[in-house]
Structure 1
Amino acid sequence: MKSVLIAAAFGLAISILLTPLAIKAFRRHGFGQEIRDDGPETHLAKKGTPTMGGTVMVLATVGGYLIAHLFLIDQEGRGVTKTGLLLLLLLVGLGTVGFLDDYLKIRHRRSLGLNKTAKLVGQLVVGLAFAVLAVLEEDGRTPVATPVVSFVRDIAPFALPTVAFVAFAYLFIAGFSNAVNLTDGLDGLAAGCSAMVFGSYVIISFWQFGHDCAAALVDGCYTVRDPLDVTLVAAAAMGACLGFLWWNTSPARIFMGDTGSLALGGLMSGLAIVTRTELLLVVLGGLFVAVTLSVVIQVGFFRATRRRVFRMAPLHHHFELAGWAENTVIVRFWLVTGMAVAFGLGLFYADWLSFSGL
């Protein structure tokens, strides 16, 4: 437990201390955010705010995880695992795709960076690399991921061929990385919601660690790989989000950019895959799903009828144009995420109670 607290504390400390340095450096080099002209007029004042703050979040997550391992090795004799490294691969890989997107926006002074094809190719390479390495079988070891679709644990009737599962994992990773990217439109919205989702995975993975079938084969135990290491990654990411939120909350002094949003969304999906809770993430990250659906509905309905369902998509801009203050939208969306996380954790715990007979 001490190592989990250390991962969260160092993720928080690195993020909250490095972010103001990043703000100064990015401002000095002119790394400012470009604002779309068709958005709410109140956002035009944010033009030039330093962006690419996601670089700090990625560094803080990796740093918190590695520093926690210095204590973990001394206290419990465990080292860095394949599961932890694959999660960091997903985080850093998608963060790199987002960094390139942010850099092109800044260089060309426009609100669009990489084109859709280039961004999807980058997500494809990273997502497939993670999925293939995760399902590779190892002699005598539980695989990092199994080719079975899961809710709170694997759903046996939904076992997929390995190739199909790799494709599913890629779509899942790309979907959630883009969902967080779409949600990152208001000060502190994506960072605050992400912190809550990562916090839920700290609880889920640590619970799995305490009820691991490798330690004791009892009813309701979990067949997962390296659950404690997963907890360390989730805890470090939660701390990194909270530290960044200190500077990103309204009025934001820095934005995470695609560097942060793609990395965080990818890490969420990776945590869901390795903990066998893929469909549960749809509940825990319900706000991200709703924001994405608002864009899909808006685009699809407009193409079919030339009319709009929402005043503007993504969903948070609809409420802004309806007259809600930005801070009101942010806090209420945080509340929605908090309720979604509480409901998701309740489903997870209810499943365990069904096995324990309590």
Structure 2
Amino acid sequence: MISILIAASVGLVVSILLTPYLIRFFSKQGFGQEIREEGPEGHKSKRGTPTMGGVAIIVAMVVGYFVAHLVDYWRGSSEGPTASALLVLFLSVGLGLVGFLDDFIKIRKQRNLGLNKTAKLVGQLVVAVAFAFLVLQFPDANGLTPASQHLSYARDIALIFFPIPIFVLFCYLLVSAWSNAVNFTDGLDGLAGGAGAMVLATYVVISFWQARLSCVEAFQPACYNVRDPLDLAVVAAAATGACIGFLWWNAAPAKIFMGDTGSLALGGLVAGLSMTTRTELLAIVIGGLFVVEMISVVLQIAVFRTTRKRLFRMAPFHHHFELAGWAETTVIIRFWLLAATCCMFGLGLFYSEQLGLGGG
């Protein structure tokens, strides 16, 4: 528990102190955000706001995680970083690098489009496939690997097993879906950062609960076969603190945007945590806001291509409400409430599943 608190605290402090430095540095370099011409009129004033602030989230998360382990080492703990946590960090940082390249190209070419779709998908593919192969390695003393080839809800579903090629494809689809879903949500000041912090905080609770009821520690009704759940809680806590620290500067009116650097990294975290905690289907509920934002884009494209009419005034659909006359802060706060509701509902489903199997 102390490691979780240290990781969250360090992530928060590093993020809140590093972000203003990045604001000054990126401003001097002219690393300003380009704005979609067809977007809400109020967004035109945001042109030139520094972007790539996701660097602060990634650095703070990594520093928070390793400082927590250093403190553990000084306190005499023999446990170091685990395979599960390091692989989730790898996935997040790898996708963050893809997003960084995307942001950098936008800035250099002064346009709202960075990497083309093919290059972006290839970058996500390389990181996701590497993660897929590695996450089935590194068995512990009980034979548990960081992820399993079973589909999961609140634990592995025994009847649904993926052969290796299907698992790799499934992993790629999952990583691509979550990273793009968070990316679509990142369109208003603090929206993705605030919702991301809630989802990650939910995973702190889930992974900590799994550690308390681990089958490895003591076999009991409804225990969890998850490798390194406590260390996954440390990663999620460090990332939660990093998001909250960044949100201090990213909340409306934003002094800096996270850019694709941050949104792809956060999407990778959600995907990685869902696989390593065996909650892939449950994550759809926990990250419900991100899912709905992605669905709004898919529906907009599908309806327009079939009928040549628009389902929403603009997609992702948070812009629909802006164009309908809602103030930006109203949209953000109400969507934060939706995100919080999804997280609470997801936690309720997780706990009720455990109760249903005879846990307490």
User: What amino acid is the match of 2:46?
Assistant: K
Percent identical residues: 59
Instruction: Note the C-alpha offset of 1:5.
Output: 0.2
2:210 is the alignment partner of 1:208: yes
Deviates more, 1:161-170 or 1:120-129: 161-170
Instruction: Note the C-alpha offset of 1:219.
Output: 1.0
User: What amino acid is the match of 2:149?
Assistant: P
CA distance in structure 1 between the partners assigned to 2:94 and 2:228 by the alignment:
21
Structure 1 unaligned residues grouped into runs of 5+: none
Write out aligned runs for 1:165-180 (5 A). 165-180=167-182
Aligned-partner SS, 1:225: coil
Aligned-partner SS, 2:139: coil
2:305 is the alignment partner of 1:330: no
Instruction: Note the C-alpha offset of 1:80.
Output: 0.8
CA distance in structure 1 between the partners assigned to 2:89 and 2:290 by the alignment:
21
Distance 1:319 1:82, change over 3 A: same
Tell whether the 8 Å contact from 2:140 to 2:227 is kept in structure 1 after alignment.
no
User: What amino acid is the match of 2:114?
Assistant: G
2:360 is the alignment partner of 1:353: no
2:134 aligned partner:
133
User: What amino acid is the match of 2:273?
Assistant: L
2:2 is the alignment partner of 1:2: yes
> Hey, which bits of structure 1, 4+ residues long, moved more than 4 A?
none
1:35 aligned partner:
35
CA distance in structure 2 between the partners assigned to 1:210 and 1:138 by the alignment:
20
User: What amino acid is the match of 1:356?
Assistant: G
2:313 aligned partner:
311
1:69 aligned partner:
69
Distance 1:82 1:304, change over 3 A: same
CA distance in structure 1 between the partners assigned to 2:354 and 2:105 by the alignment:
47
User: What amino acid is the match of 1:26?
Assistant: F
2:162 is the alignment partner of 1:160: yes
Structure 2 unaligned residues grouped into runs of 5+: none
Instruction: Note the C-alpha offset of 1:165.
Output: 1.2
2:52 aligned partner:
52
C-alpha distance after superposition, 1:191-218 (max 9, x if no partner)? 0000000000000000001111111011
2:341 aligned partner:
339
Aligned-partner SS, 2:52: coil
1:277 aligned partner:
279
Tell whether the 8 Å contact from 2:83 to 2:138 is kept in structure 1 after alignment.
no
C-alpha distance after superposition, 1:275-314 (max 9, x if no partner)? 0000111000001000000000000110001001101100
CA distance in structure 2 between the partners assigned to 1:88 and 1:342 by the alignment:
25
CA distance in structure 2 between the partners assigned to 1:65 and 1:245 by the alignment:
19
User: What amino acid is the match of 1:46?
Assistant: K
Tell whether the 8 Å contact from 2:190 to 2:251 is kept in structure 1 after alignment.
yes
Instruction: Note the C-alpha offset of 1:356.
Output: 2.6
User: What amino acid is the match of 1:218?
Assistant: Q
C-alpha distance after superposition, 1:246-271 (max 9, x if no partner)? 00000000000000000000111100
User: What amino acid is the match of 1:352?
Assistant: Q
CA distance in structure 1 between the partners assigned to 2:359 and 2:205 by the alignment:
21
2:75 is the alignment partner of 1:109: no
Instruction: Note the C-alpha offset of 1:136.
Output: 2.5
1:294 aligned partner:
296
Instruction: Note the C-alpha offset of 1:48.
Output: 0.2
Deviates more, 1:87-96 or 1:136-145: 136-145
- The alignment's TM-score, normalised by the length of structure 2, stands at 0.98
Tell whether the 8 Å contact from 2:221 to 2:359 is kept in structure 1 after alignment.
no
Distance 1:137 1:18, change over 3 A: closer
CA distance in structure 2 between the partners assigned to 1:75 and 1:14 by the alignment:
25
Distance 1:277 1:139, change over 3 A: closer
Aligned-residue CA RMSD (Å): 1.0
